[in-house]
């Protein structure tokens, strides 16, 4: 089924792929001004497709371009989309986005319990602008066996060191190398929303984990050498926990926690000064 640049496709009885047209949330799309509520009835169509999948017992993967939590997506559309994902989180086992060019992700929290319930995987780009090294990613899902869950089991990111390859002869064949795999490198038992939420907490408190994440954020490109102080770190961490642009609760909690950590460190230094 295709309409206005979005469609769904049933790969097998247990898995439906839904492709969204994120231009309907693009804040640079002036054509949204006459009909900002639900242009082309895109979200209404999404609900219908998810209801069909739910009734048939099918799991769902969503693919699109602009992640809902970024500033590039209109807040009202982001909020309504997040409500839909929350409602159908039991059957939506993966969401895949691009657009930002960074190596990042976004966790959706239940609006009532504040538990992590869904994930937006945001794939790093092949485009190297803004000081990035080009990269691509391979996702491994539980989709080949009987009674598959269609959950993301792992992902592997391959990148290219531009500074190094620019020193090679012009006729050299470029070769991307494995940068990291999520489970082995990030120390997570699985890639569930709960595990990603826990990983964010590690980034808040563990300096070594944060330094590695920040380097991979740009795949070790020139941007990785820029200092990322408190405001920069807060902004990036807030991106990781902002799925719904109108829900800033988790971002606020992270900022409070970082302030407490800063106070604790200040108190420790004060004690040393007294001694």
**Crossing angle of the two packed helices 230-240 and 207-217, in degrees rounded to 10:** 80
**Crossing angle of the two packed helices 193-205 and 207-217, in degrees rounded to 10:** 110
Rounded Cα–Cα distance for residues 50 and 10 (Å): 12
pLDDT in tens, 53-91: 999 999 999 999 999 999 999 999 999 999 999 999 999
Alpha helices in 206-240 (DSSP H): 207-217, 230-240
pLDDT band at 37; cut points 50, 70, 90: confident
What is the phi-psi region of residue 26: left when phi exceeds 0, alpha when psi lies from -120 to 50, beta otherwise? beta
Model confidence, pTM: 0.93
Residues 6+ positions from 134 with CB-CB distance below 8 Å: 125, 126, 127, 128, 159, 160, 162, 176, 219
């Amino acid at each position: 089924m295709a309409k206005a640049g979005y469609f769904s496709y049933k790969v097998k009885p247990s898995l439906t792929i839904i492709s969204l047209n994120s231009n309907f949330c693009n804040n640079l799309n002036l054509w949204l001004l006459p009909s900002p509520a639900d242009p082309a009835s895109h979200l209404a169509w999404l609900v219908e497709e998810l209801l069909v999948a739910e009734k048939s017992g099918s799991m769902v993967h969503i693919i699109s371009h602009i992640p809902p939590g970024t500033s590039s997506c209109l807040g009202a559309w982001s909020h309504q989309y997040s409500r839909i994902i929350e409602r159908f989180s039991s059957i939506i086992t993966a969401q895949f986005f691009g657009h930002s060019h960074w190596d990042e992700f976004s966790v959706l929290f239940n609006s009532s319990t504040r538990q992590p319930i869904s994930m937006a995987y945001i794939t790093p780009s092949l485009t190297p602008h803004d000081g990035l090294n080009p990269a691509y990613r391979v996702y491994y899902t539980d989709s080949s066996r009987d009674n598959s869950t269609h959950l993301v089991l792992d992902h592997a990111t391959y990148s290219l060191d531009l500074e190094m390859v620019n020193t090679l002869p012009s006729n050299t064949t470029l070769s991307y190398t494995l940068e990291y795999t999520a489970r082995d490198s990030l120390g997570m038992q699985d890639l569930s929303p709960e595990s990603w939420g826990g990983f964010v907490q590690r980034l808040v408190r563990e300096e070594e984990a944060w330094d590695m994440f920040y380097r991979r954020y740009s795949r070790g490109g020139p941007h990785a050498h820029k200092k990322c102080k408190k405001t920069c770190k807060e902004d990036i961490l807030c991106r990781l926990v902002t799925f719904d642009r109108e829900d800033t609760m988790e971002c606020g909690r992270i900022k409070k926690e970082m302030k407490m950590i800063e106070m604790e460190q200040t108190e420790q230094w004060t004690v040393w000064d007294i001694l």
